Amino acid sequence: MKPLAAINDFVIRFATVNGSGSASANNLFAKAVFRMGVPVSPKNIFPSNIQGLPTWYEVRVNEQGHVGRRGDIDLVVAVNGQTLRQDYDSLAPGGYFVFDSSKPLPEDFTRDDVIAIGIPMTAMCTEAFDNPKMRPLLKNIIYVGALAALLDMELEVLTDSLRSQFRKNPTLAEPNIRALELGYGYARDHHAGACLLTVRRSDRVGDAIMMDGNSATALGALYGGATVVGWYPITPSTSIIEAFGHYAEQFRIETDTGRIKAAIVQAEDELAAIGIVIGAAWNGARAFTATSGPGISLMAEFLGLAYFAEVPAVLINVQRVGPSTGMPTRTQQSDLLACAYASHGDTKHPLLFPCDPRECFEMTADAFDLADRLQTPVLVMSDLDLGMNDHYGPPLVWDPARRYDRGKVMDAARLEALAARWGRYKDTDGDGICWRTYPGTHPDKGVYFTRGTSRDEYSTYTEDSSTYVRNMERLALKWESAKRLLPLARIKITSGEARLGVVFYGSTTPAAYEAIEHLRHRGLAVNSMRIRAFPFQQEVIDFISAHELVFVIEQNRDGQMRTLLLNEGGLPPAKLVTIAAYDGLPVASRFLVRALEEALAERGVTLPTSPRDQGGVP
């Protein structure tokens, strides 16, 4: 078996122990590749928050810009004895197994298609550094240095990064740089030419950035005008609130008092958190909360109140699976139905599906305008992979001329000029959206007290059935108006003759596009549609209707997006086929290729094989 050989196109997996300090070292490596001008995608694929459990960190290097998870491993850095066998077996044929040779490998590690590269990391640490508390951390830096030598990387990029990281405390930089040089020197002297994978400086990055989705979401909320946050801690959404507070301390400070111009209130539970948001929004503030998975069910009652009382609110859902479902906290797209129809009764909520940090930023900012215009909760559907991992993508952009759209709000002058009686829930424009007021706008006009559905157009309590029907029909009309305001799907027509379509959304996007490109290289024309919002516009239904068969790619077991499409679009069920990934790991392009091949084969379509370098997927 020939060793794998590639320039700027491979996947590395770091197999470590959670809480060992490895995350910083792994991130140092990924960002060094980025600084060399090569697109890179780092993913913590098992981000358990429990100390001592195994964790893996994948780095995909791909000069073509494919930054979705690929799905198999070319090189493993194995420093966790608990998973040594698993990591050894996970390597692709011809791959490289970098391990701590302070102890020999077990005798049964005998694959003849794997190149083992031993670096005595523990022994080197013990010999070079006196502080036993620092040794585990410096061991991580040693393997980064060794990896840099094996991949023929520029050591200066890494040393400069360490100096920058420790610029406020240069004394900490010295042992880290020494550890980096120790690893680099050992690999150069003992394993020169052993690895045929190479990182070569390139110019493919351009103005792209690396950023995690939660930080981008927090900036979107800040730029979108949020001033009130009600929240309750839950992984993986908590870092949105932390980032919002961090940015508010930089950009939302009163000049005279030095106070932050935002209220960030930690509630006693999720229900109280969304209650804070709704109360603040009813008073005219732009308010939001962030939660994950289980928090949605706890917030559902108040979401129903906001829907029927028509109070704007923004909720960020960083979707996940576990731990209440029996798995550690991992990524999934598993809350679509719970969010689309949250609460009891006939409720529907607009959903936005960002696919990268830039869209996390843009869609979160837009969500506040949409919530105000529609006077309803708007939910931004992120997930753990998108939220917590760094992503390579376009820079964030904000138009300084942009102004907030508060929708239909009666100011004092408009109230004063009213000739007829104002009705808070009276539709005067035919779009299902009524005029509202802020408390205190006028001394005696525009004031109202409301409850859920048991009231008429003037907020007067009633249990009249016909009034209830009128209200529900108006809310349905508002739902139609929402379609004109939400972002359109991104449709790519490869061929006007193509009979097959592929639908996907959110963080599945990079892997889906790569899989589709691979099918095109195999001679199969497939048109694609990335759904960006719910409710679905007519374009979404038309795309599906125009194809004989449409595959819906999603990261949940039960095909929740397919269910939404069938329920809302009146489409024939046989036309839509779910391609489901639900192992809790970011979806891999090679998994999608295999799943699509199998689905096509079941329908009598067999594709020819292709070489590994064709389309980036074997």
> What is the per-residue pLDDT across 570-618, written as a single tens digit (0 to 9) for each?
999 999 999 999 999 999 999 999 999 999 999 988 887 754 444 444 3
E strands in 18-152: 40-44, 54-62, 73-78, 91-100, 114-119
Taking all residues of the chain, what is their mean pLDDT, rounded to a whole number?
93
Quote the tokens at residue 43: 């993913």
Going 502 to 505 to 509 to 511, the CA torsion angle's sign is negative
Rounded average pLDDT over 268-283: 96
Buried b / exposed e along 210-222 (16+ C-beta atoms within 10 A): bbbbbbbbbbbbb
Domains of the chain: 5-198 (3.40.920.10), 210-393 (3.40.50.970), 412-485 (no CATH), 490-602 (3.40.50.920)
Contact 70, 590 (CB under 8 A): yes
pLDDT digits (tens, 9 = 90+) for 299-337: 999 999 999 999 999 999 999 986 555 556 789 999 999
| Residue 601 exposed, middle or buried by CB count within 10 Å (0-12, 13-18, 19+) | exposed
Q: Residue 390 in contact with residue 42, Cβ under 8 Å?
A: yes
Give 20: exposed, middle or buried? Use CB within 10 Å, 0-12, 13-18, 19+: middle
Give the pairing type, strands 526-530 and 490-492: antiparallel
Q: What is the pLDDT of residues 74-83, one digit of tens each?
A: 999 999 999 9
Nearest to 392 by CA among 41, 9, 61, 32: 41
Contact residues for 23 (Cβ-Cβ < 8 A; gap 6+)? 44, 57
Q: What is the pLDDT of residue 285?
A: 97
What number is the average pLDDT over the span 522-541? 96
Q: What's the pLDDT score for residue 236?
A: 92
Q: What mean pLDDT comes out for the span 280-304? A: 93
State residue 295's pLDDT score. Answer: 87
Q: Could you give the 3-state DSSP secondary structure of residue 428?
A: coil
State the pLDDT at residue 47: 54
Residue 69 forms beta bridges with which residues? 588
- 18-49 pLDDT, tens per residue? 877 888 999 999 999 999 999 999 998 865 56
| Average confidence (pLDDT) over 361-374 | 98
Q: Has residue 270 got a pLDDT over 80? A: yes
Residue 50 has pLDDT above 90, yes or no: no
Q: Model-level pTM?
A: 0.95
Helix (H), strand (E) at residue 492 = strand 490-492
What average pLDDT does range 220-243 have in this prediction?
96
| Beta-carbon contacts of residue 596 (< 8 Å; ≥ 6 apart) | 502, 515, 519, 551, 579
Residue 610's pLDDT is 58
Q: Using pLDDT thresholds of 50, 70 and 90, give the confidence band for residue 477.
A: very high
pLDDT at 184 over 70: yes
Number of Cβ within 10 Å of residue 514's Cβ equals 26
Share of the chain above pLDDT 70, in %: 96
